[in-house]
Amino acid sequence: MIPAEFKESLPVFTDPDLVDQILNKGQLMKLDAGKVLMEPGQFMKMVPIVLEGSIKISRMDDEGRELFLYYLDAGETCALSLTCCSASKPSEIKAVVEEDATIISIPIAAIDQFSNDYKQWKDFVTNTYQNRFQEMLFALDAVAFKRMDERLMGYIVKKMKQLKTNELHTTHQEIANELTTSREVVSRLLKQLEKKKWIELGRNVIYIRDDFEELISK
């Protein structure tokens, strides 16, 4: 029986043979927020496809500082994980469950088989690379051309849409890590937004006005 989450998140897979292979060789997993799936230097044993929830993908520098790359949401897999698998290289990323997630874990051996046997899988992988490339370009553009206050407001909007909530339970340091800046800068900019009454700051939580996206676009 095909899980409902699979049908909803992966409508691109219509080939019944491929769906059977994914379900038979993959492992369905329920993961709690905060669980670390992968650390830099580890060898990949599987590639996750997210059915529900989200996973945060980051890189770490030599001093242990984190550089946020992208989120995996429902229906998505990790391009960098696929690259490491195909090259038999250790992981260059850190993967942490951002919100409670359901994934299907595909073993490396099955990845090669799917690529050889199923066009729908090859198309899925190609689209994954294309989408991640576009996200990386957007991230580079933001760093190169946007002021930090614009990046912060864009971050807030993205998180609201991703988590479907007006309450962001996070710390100023976590936001700073994702925006590659300092906690002091984030705190100062959040205070400015609070003075405008666009947000309200609590202890490790940000309450956001319903019309926040409209306000920042004016």
Domain locations in the chain as residue ranges = 4-143, 146-217
CATH topology identical between 4-143 and 146-217: no
Q: Cβ(38)–Cβ(94) under 8 Å?
A: yes
pLDDT at 10: 93
Q: Which residues pair with 156 in a beta bridge?
A: none
Query: CA 109, 110, 116, 117: dihedral to nearest 10 degrees?
Result: 150
Is 4-143 CATH 2.60.120.10?
A: yes
Q: How many CB atoms lie within 10 A of CB 201?
A: 14
Query: CA 183, 36, 34, 153: dihedral to nearest 10 degrees?
Result: 40
Q: Whose structure tokens read 């090859």?
A: 122
pLDDT higher than threshold 80 for residue 1: no
For the chain, give the mean pLDDT.
Answer: 89
DSSP H helical segments within the chain, as ranges? 4-9, 16-25, 79-87, 108-117, 119-145, 148-163, 172-179, 183-195, 212-217
pLDDT higher than threshold 80 for residue 140: no
pLDDT higher than threshold 90 for residue 69: no
pTM: 0.79
Q: Which residues have CB under 8 Å from 53's CB, separation 6+? A: 31, 33, 74, 97, 98, 99, 100, 101, 102
pLDDT higher than threshold 90 for residue 184: yes
Q: Which residues have CB under 8 Å from 33's CB, separation 6+? A: 53, 97, 98, 99, 100, 101
Q: Which residues have CB under 8 Å from 197's CB, separation 6+? A: 209
Q: For 144-179, give the secondary structure using H, E and C.
A: HHCCHHHHHHHHHHHHHHHHCCCEECCCHHHHHHHH
Q: Is 196 helix (H, G, I), strand (E, B) or coil?
A: coil
Q: Is residue 95 left, alpha or beta, with left meaning phi > 0 and alpha meaning psi from -120 to 50?
A: beta
Please, what is the Cα angle at 187 between 193 and 181, to 5 degrees? 115
Q: Which of 113, 120, 126 is nearest to 14 (CA)?
A: 120
Overall average pLDDT of the 178-198 stretch: 92
Under CATH, which number does the domain 146-217 receive? 1.10.10.10
Overall average pLDDT of the 12-34 stretch: 94
